[in-house]
Amino acid sequence: MVVLWVVGSIAFLWTLLTFLAEIKGKENIILFGDSSSKRTAWLVYNPDLFYNLDQQVCSSFAQALADQGWLAKVATVAAAEKMGSETVDLYVFCANTYNWAPDWPTSNYIKNHQVLQGKNAVAITLGSGSTGNSQRLLEEMLNAKEVRLLASITLWLMRPNDENDSKTSNVQMAKEKAKQLGKKIAQTLVDE
Ligand SMILES: Cc1cc2nc3c(=O)[nH]c(=O)nc-3n(C[C@H](O)[C@H](O)[C@H](O)COP(=O)(O)O)c2cc1C
């Protein structure tokens, strides 16, 4: 009886936490680069309740694009939904993982966004450390929208992002990896 009560309470609290984590966060946009840039990227994420690794990773990627002459808009899902129908050269989706799946607001944004077909996209799956299934689901979602998926990576809050580097903090390493990928993607797209 006690065991049932304990298991039931944990299940109830976890479900509550899940629903709180899956709520669509506030509108927020951060701009990187020059508005007269020829190339525009949108980096879309839904803010996590507890920590802003999502925003930090997106911002690092965006800074790398800006360094290569792009205008990069880091937007929460709520803000991205209100952004007009400008030409976007690259979409970067930073999805948080809840219960081994990408967060609902980012997933719904991808499913409902009309203009993704044929667009360049990058998938970044975030989580504390168990993101394999979530990454696969995010890729499937993007492939179903027939995007041109240029890269898909996963970055973690707790699990080491680079096991060979114990000096750099894990969050710093996640940001560094996002920045490296941003630079690489900008260089890949430079001649197109
Ligand atoms: C209800 C709940 C479920 C979660 N499930 C997972 C999971 O299955 N795998 C994982 O790696 N992280 C999981 N996490 C951790 C979040 O994904 C993590 O906090 C977030 O992605 C890290 O980025 P942030 O700093 O932007 O929060 C979970 C967190 C919560 C609150």
Q: How far is the CA of 132 from the centre of ligand 1 (A)?
A: 13
Full residue range of the structural domain in which residue 53 is found: 2-189
Residue-level pLDDT, tens digit, the chain, 192 residues: 889 999 999 999 999 999 999 999 999 999 999 989 999 999 999 999 889 999 999 999 999 999 999 999 999 999 999 997 788 999 999 999 999 999 999 999 999 998 899 999 999 999 999 999 999 999 999 999 999 999 999 999 999 999 898 889 999 999 999 999 999 999 999 877
CATH of the domain at 85: 3.40.50.360
Residue 88 to residues 6, 41, 122, 160, 185, Cα–Cα distance (Å): 50, 6, 13, 33, 15
Q: How many angstroms is it from 192 CA to the middle of ligand 1?
A: 36
Total domain count, the chain: 1
- Secondary structure element (H or E) that encloses residue 167, with its range: none
pTM of the model: 0.95
Pocket mutation for ligand 1, best pick of 44, 74, 98 (most atoms within 8 Å of C-beta): 98
